[in-house]
């Protein structure tokens, strides 16, 4: 039993950080996100033994968010056996396009389908929240309003015109989201 899924890059059409902080110290957000045609391919294969293997490109092993998503799904739902995760990486790493989050979301959605779990969108967002806020959006995808700390995802049925995008990824290391928030906090 295997499944192949596209793990589509996310693109922020708007990004608003609200000034008041929540009880956990995070700024509330209001994003308008959509998926773009740029995608990794994620293949999942059920294994009879409780083993998790991966051929994931640049980030291998237990540190990879897709492998962490597989562990989470198996632990939360007491699933038998294990999983082989193969990812053909197309989305540039650390580009702000949510490649790792999209891969983790594809694992959540794929395991949901492989094991006929019938998880609701809210349940999948809840699982994504334990891995990272971009995963919350990526398990839903499409054109969506993202609010809260990134964990409230509302799909929108608005028609989005075709957009031609040129996405430039710096050749040097991109600054982290934590760095960007720290600059915001200094002001």
Catalytic residues: 10, 134
Contact 73, 143 (CB under 8 A): no
Calpha distance 45→78 (Å, rounded): 17
Q: Which one, of 98, 36, 97, lies nearest residue 66 by Cα?
A: 98
DSSP annotation string for 37-64: EEEEEEEEEEESSS-EEEE-TTS-GGGS
In the chain, what is the greatest distance between 2 CA atoms, to the nearest angstrom? 54
């Amino acid at each position: 039993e295997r499944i192949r899924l596209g793990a589509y890059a996310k693109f922020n059409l708007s990004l608003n950080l609200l000034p008041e902080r929540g009880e956990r110290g995070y700024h509330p957000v209001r994003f308008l996100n959509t998926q773009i045609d740029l995608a990794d391919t994620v293949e999942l294969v059920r294994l009879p033994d409780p083993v998790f293997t991966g051929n994931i490109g640049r980030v291998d092993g237990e540190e990879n968010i897709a492998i962490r998503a597989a562990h989470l799904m198996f632990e939360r739902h007491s699933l038998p056996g294990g999983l082989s995760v193969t990812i053909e990486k197309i989305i540039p790493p650390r580009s702000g396009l949510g490649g790792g989050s999209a891969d983790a979301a594809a694992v959540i959605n794929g395991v949901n389908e492989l094991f006929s779990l019938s998880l609701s969108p809210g349940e999948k967002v809840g699982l994504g929240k334990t891995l990272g806020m971009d995963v919350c959006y990526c398990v839903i995808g499409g054109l969506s309003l993202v609010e809260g700390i990134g964990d409230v995802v509302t799909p929108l049925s608005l028609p989005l015109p075709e957009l031609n995008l040129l996405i430039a990824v710096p050749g040097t290391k991109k600054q982290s989201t934590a760095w960007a928030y720290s600059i915001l906090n200094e002001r």
